[in-house]
Amino acid sequence: MNFFYISVLLLNLVTSSVQAAEIYITDPEHTFVSFSYKHLAYSIQTSRFDKVNGTITLNDQMDGGTIDIDIETGSISTGSDTFNKLLRGEDYFNSEKFPVAKFTSDKVVFNNQSITSISGELTIKGTTKSINVEVSNFACSRNFITLKYMCGANATAKLSRSEFDLGKYVPFVGDEIRLNIVIEASRE
């Protein structure tokens, strides 16, 4: 008899935790990743990836979740067709062989129902490294145009491009990359 009640209790716990998770899908029109680096000590250049998509899962208490993001490396946009082609090539992102860079969170840190930081693993060109992402803005509400419930964020991270086999011309072209992440996602 006790086994039956314990089974029902466990089933209710599993069911309520599944129901408590809210899934958000990124909006392709308002989600992108840009990156900046020093160029020959003359300037700080900025480029971006135009195709970023993913899934964000948040619990209903807004104190836990997971984030999975895919960045299409072939969607790099520098403002120059020649430079885009160079960065898609084998010396840099090798987009033909590695079409997707991937970020998977292992910890989402909240403070008063707002995400403050995210840690996880970033994979570029088959190399996976731990990365910390600092969130400067996070908000959720109903979108008054689409009437969908949405969350959005702005975040930054730093990484060494040479650690991901992207280090051509280091140190003349800076090794440190600053990522700027803009994301908006709609609840399913």
Whether residue 144 is contained in a domain is answered as: yes
Separation of alpha carbons 139 and 137, rounded Å: 7
Is residue 15 predicted with pLDDT exceeding 50?
no
Whether residue 40 is contained in a domain is answered as: yes
Whether residue 89 is contained in a domain is answered as: yes
Whether residue 77 is contained in a domain is answered as: yes
2: confidence class by pLDDT, cuts 50, 70, 90 = low
The CB density around residue 164, as the number of other CB atoms within 10 Å, is 20
Q: Alpha helices of the chain — where are they, by DSSP H?
A: 2-20, 81-88
Torsion angle in degrees (nearest 10) through CA of 77, 34, 39, 96:
-50
Whether residue 13 is contained in a domain is answered as: no
Q: What is the DSSP letter of 43?
A: E
Q: Compute the chain's Rg from CA coordinates.
A: 20
Whether residue 10 is contained in a domain is answered as: no
147: confidence class by pLDDT, cuts 50, 70, 90 = very high
The structural domain count of the chain equals 1
Q: Alpha helices of 2-117 — where are they, by DSSP H?
A: 2-20, 81-88
Is residue 5 predicted with pLDDT exceeding 60?
no
Looking at residue 18, what is its pLDDT?
A: 47
pLDDT tens, 108-135?
A: 999 988 999 999 999 999 999 999 999 9
Average pLDDT of the chain to the nearest whole number = 90
63: confidence class by pLDDT, cuts 50, 70, 90 = confident
pLDDT tens, 73-108?
A: 999 999 999 999 999 999 999 999 999 999 999 999
Domain that holds residue 139: 21-187
Whether residue 15 is contained in a domain is answered as: no
CATH number for the domain that contains residue 84: 2.40.128.110
Cβ burial, residue 173 (10 Å; 0-12/13-18/19+): middle
Whether residue 158 is contained in a domain is answered as: yes
